[in-house]
Structure 1
Amino acid sequence: MRIIHTSDWHLGQHFYGKSRAPEHQQFLNWLIEQSKSQQIDAIIVAGDIFDTGTPPSYAREMYFDFIAKLHQTHCQLVVLAGNHDSVAMLTESQKILQQLSTRVISAVSNNMAEQVFVLNSLKTEQQAVICAIPFIRPRDIVKSYAGQSANEKQRSLQQAITEHYQVLFEQAQGLSQLNQADGTRLPIIATGHLTTIGASTSESVRDIYIGTLEAFPASEFPAADYIALGHIHRPQKVTKSEHIRYSGSPIALSFDEANTQKSIVIAEFKNGDLSNTALCNVPCFQPLAMVKTHLETLAEDIASVVESKSITLKSEDSNIAESLSTESLSTESSSVEAKITHDERPGQEKIWLDIEIESAEYLQDLSVRIEQIVKALPVEVLLVRRSKKSRQQMPSHEKKVTLSELSVQEVFDTRMALEPWDSDEQQQRKTRLNSLYLTIAEQTQLANSSKQSLLEHSEAHTSSTSKTEQK
């Protein structure tokens, strides 16, 4: 049996005013082609299908269209909710999508059958048992009590998550044996959407257990044959284990991910065991680049980064797509990562730039300077800011940092840094403020997404009315 492990699509993301819809559509088309060419039995999406709990209408349409097209290939789909996803929104289409070979697990359930079930191969043979665990919200598995310290809450949540995994794993072990008449067992695949200790994160990864559990120890996972994780956007093994992996996001979701090769994981199981894993590189559909520069070398550094990025993209275009044959994933006892590249990138796109200036001076004409430099280059500048170090070095009477140079998180962190956090009582207050900030940030993001959805609906209605009047 072969599965594709992917995660963190973030459909509907707006990136400094830019829509990611073209990139996401190309990725989904590419993913369907991979499922066909690689003879994939099931695709597991380990959380954060959408960027917000109220995604724009085009993102939902993209999601449903993908499911309908994938169903025609006879490949199963398992969708796990992430911390960005709305439980209610994913749940509302659960039953109808089950008719299209898609299992949606939106939240922790008291019904074991909703989270532990058998996956079939393309030939409808029972091939694996899955412990389908979505993002675990603390309120779903643990009760808080007045007077608990931050450390007590952390231990309580970690223990509850560990117990939840163990209970489902024991149920899966029973199914693993019961469904095999010949006495062999089915492999067990577990999922998760959380941060593990030691995972390498990026700017776009949001803390999900602020004030309670920063990271989950990998040693607490059950002994599943493969553990498909989401939430971290850089592809990586956990504790150097072949069978515990983050697939990473399919597109760069922040500028600090610009140089990260995006990928999906293809895992193959034989005779009840994981026989191999391989990374399959996702084409770059929209190039991004960071330029860290000084005023004196601004033009040269921008030109150098653009040239370097263009060479990389041309190199990608010249690569010959390699097939992932059955033989390449079959008999080796130790897993060898197959790095597979594809030349399915569309025509040359303008490179999106983030320009970070090392300068303590306040320059009103900086944007004009940059505009003159890049006007003849195949780039679009999305962000211009001074480095954090430069902002800190400015004399206090000259500090004129604009909000466009700061993220919301940086504004909050700057304000928090002004407070003393010495006593236990102050630490508890800090925890409460962190949790409150996270709640408000999520609510604001939901409100902005709702506003965007209403705007798109209004524009679509206006366009439809206009066409009717013309007729």
Structure 2
Amino acid sequence: MTARVFHTSDWHLGRQIAGRHRRDAEFDAVLHEITEIAVDSAPDVIVHSGDLFDGPRPSLDDMRRAAHALRGLGKIAPVVVVAGNHDTSYVLSFLKFMLSDLGTRPDDEVRVRFATDARPGSLLVAEYPTARGELAVRIGALPYLHPNRFAYEFADPATATATYAERMRVVQADVYRRLAHNRGPRDVLVFAAHLFVEGATPSRSERPISIDSDYAAIATNLPLVDYGALGHIHKPQRIDGIGFPAHYAGSPLQMDFGETRDTKSVILAEIAPGREPRIEVTPLESGRRLVKLAGTLDEIRQTAGRVGDAWVKVTVHTDGPTLALAETLTEMLPKATIVDIDELRPGAEVHILDHATTAADLPSVEDLLREYLSDGRVMGPALDRVMSTLSHLQADPDPTDRTSCCEENLLTAAIEGRGFDGIDRSGVLTGSESTVTEALS
């Protein structure tokens, strides 16, 4: 007798590379792959542990993509979706409305359920019988809890000055009480949550504030269940030392260039009462790889043939400015999409100024321009002419000097129709009107 729990997480639909390259085809491919693996796994229940979307206002295409994928998974087994820190209850409520055939189906007929509320009495605790009816899978689902939500949604004054970890311990203990209430010998307990557990290794594509150590849940405070289906960290991994198997399923695609070494996957937990669960990790193959290349152009050329169809970030080490660098790299990597090129040259490093820096320590405008033009091979007489032009531009009239400049006097005279005979002692050009017009032109 076993219960089979299929675990996926952190789809982040709508995520872009470098903030401008959409990945719709990749998401479609990987969601299809996840569905096919789920079909082969024949699970009793499917858990998505948070962050369906990458932002709080997903596009209509991403909403459609999520609804289509969840409906497909719901045909295989009941699905529980935990709200992540990128999700909002409003969006998930609308998604539920879509999946319930615009609200025409009763809740007990809907195959996809959403956990969006962590307040006492509103936690989602669901029970699903296995295919043969021999066991029951109980799922306690804890959505992401932002630190500020404790101040507004949890009224217990005793926790007002408690740390985030202490508050999370109370909430998780409440989940366990509800989950284990009247537990029978054939009940399998699953804790599904979107949170950062101490000891987990982030990919650094998560929001920095959400993986700060001040907002980490203590591993030993997790509810003692048969399997922990965790979301939030994009690197697939197991959390050890807590007395039961708890896994981050991770994101299905490499989210950014901090994940170039991550192999993405989904998890099948096969659980039997009284025995250590059998964990099967299935790698995902869909989606383009993210690749970082660094070195001289010759070194990059030697490895470029192995890159293929990928998103690529390139750092080129050069001795000086390289003409047509982007075109050269594009020819080297014809199947790749280059999203960023960084050119590193000795002596061209950017120096960070600190509070001790004074104006005397800063280079002058003239020095900066001369250095910039010299790097670009503007030298000799050409450089002298440019620097001379800069000096003339900088020789503006003194703003406190009320004496009119010659151009202003010319225009005034022309407007008044006065004649001119030459240049007077004040520097005003005088002479005929035609002479003035010629000078101005």
Common fold by TM > 0.5: yes
Q: Secondary structure at the match of 1:79?
A: strand
TM-score after normalising by structure 1: 0.65
**1: CA distance between counterparts of 2:220 and 2:319?**
46
Matches within 5 A, 1:59-458: 59-73=62-76, 75-94=77-96, 97=100, 98=107, 99-112=109-122, 114-123=123-132, 126-142=135-151, 155-177=162-184, 184-209=185-210, 213-239=214-240, 243-271=245-273, 273-293=275-295, 297-304=296-303, 306-310=304-308, 350-358=309-317, 363=321, 365=322, 368-376=324-332, 377-385=334-342, 391-392=349-350, 397=363
**Deviation string, structure 1 residues 9-38 (Cα, Å, up to 9, x no partner):** 001112122111111111111111111111
How many Å apart are 1:143 and its aligned residue? 5.9
C-alpha separation between the residues in 2 aligned to 1:84 and 1:209?
Answer: 11
Contact kept, 8 Å, 2:51 with 2:86, in 1: the verdict is yes
Q: Specify the alignment match of 1:336 in structure 2.
A: none
Are 1:194 and 1:208, in contact at CA under 8 Å, matched by a contact in 2? no
Question: For the structure 1 residues 105 and 387, does the alpha-carbon distance in structure 2 shift closer, same or farther, using more than 3 Å as the test?
Answer: farther
Contact 1:227 1:244 in 2 (8 A): yes
Which residue of 2 is the match for residue 58 of structure 1? 61
The one of 11, 24, 28 aligned to 1:25: 28
Measured in 2, the distance between the counterparts of 1:162 and 1:24 equals: 35
The 8 Å contact of residues 71 and 112 in structure 2, kept in 1 or not, is answered as no
- 1:358 Cα deviation (Å)? 4.8
Aligned match of 2:401 = none
Alignment gaps of 5+ in structure 1: 145-151, 178-183, 311-349, 401-471
Task: Provide the C-alpha distance between the structure 2 equivalents of 1:155 and 1:388, rounded to a whole number of angstroms.
Answer: 50
Whole-angstrom distance in 2 between the partners of 1:358 and 1:165: 51
Contact 1:12 1:59 in 2 (8 A): yes
Q: Which has the larger radius of gyration?
A: 2
Amino acid at match of 1:261: T
Partner of 1:47: 50
**1:41 and 1:83 mapped to 2: Cα distance?**
27
Once the two structures are superposed, residues 315-349 of structure 1 have per-residue CA deviations (whole angstroms, 9 ceiling, x without a partner) of: xxxxxxxxxxxxxxxxxxxxxxxxxxxxxxxxxxx
Conserved in 2, the CA contact under 8 Å of 1:235 and 1:249? yes
Question: In structure 2, what is the Cα distance between the partners aligned to 1:101 and 1:191?
Answer: 17
Q: Secondary structure at the match of 2:245?
A: strand
Give, in whole Å, the separation in 2 of the partners of 1:247 and 1:30.
Answer: 15
Residues 219-246 of structure 1: per-residue CA shift (max 9 Å, x gap): 1112111111111111111136661111
Asked if the contact 1:256–1:290 (Cα under 8 Å) also holds between the matched residues in 2, the reply is no
Q: CA deviation at 1:59?
A: 0.6
The AA in structure 2 aligned to 1:68 is R
Distance 1:80 1:302, change over 3 A: farther
- Percent identity over the alignment? 23
How far apart, CA to CA, are the structure 1 residues paired with 2:253 and 2:352?
36
* Bigger shift: residues 123-132 or 50-59: 123-132
Q: Give secondary structure in 2 for the equivalent of 1:187.
A: strand
Q: CA deviation at 1:102?
A: 0.8
SS of residue paired to 1:109: coil
- Which residue type is aligned with residue 70 of structure 1? L
Partner AA of 1:170 in structure 2: R
**Distance 1:158-1:143 versus aligned 2 partners, 3 A rule:** farther
CA distance in 2 between partners of 1:67 and 1:162 (Å)? 31
Q: Is the 8 A contact 1:107 1:134 kept in 2?
A: yes
Q: Structure 1 residues 225 and 30 mapped into 2: Cα distance closer, same or farther (>3 Å)?
A: same
Q: 1:89 offset after TM fit, Å?
A: 1.0
Kept after mapping to 2: 8 A contact 1:360/1:393: no
Distance 1:153 1:264 in 2: 38
Counterparts of 2:350 and 2:240 in 1: how far apart (Å)?
36
Q: 2-side partners of 1:68 and 1:278: how far apart?
A: 24
How many Å apart are 1:154 and its aligned residue?
A: 8.2
Unaligned stretches of 5+ in structure 2? 101-106, 154-158, 354-361, 372-441
Q: Deviations over 1:262-288 (max 9, x none)?
A: 111110111365521111101142122
The 2-side partners of 1:205 and 1:233 are apart by 7
Which amino acid letter does the alignment assign opposite residue 27 of structure 2?
A: H
Distance (whole Å) between structure 2 residues aligned to residue 104 and residue 232 of structure 1: 20
How far off its partner does 1:387 sit?
A: 7.2
What residue in structure 2 maps to residue 407 of structure 1?
A: none
TM-score (norm 2): 0.69
AA at the equivalent of 1:259: R
Call closer, same or farther: CA 1:92–1:284 in 2, change over 3 Å.
closer
Distance 2:144 2:129 in 1: 24
Deviates more, 1:272-281 or 1:58-67: 272-281
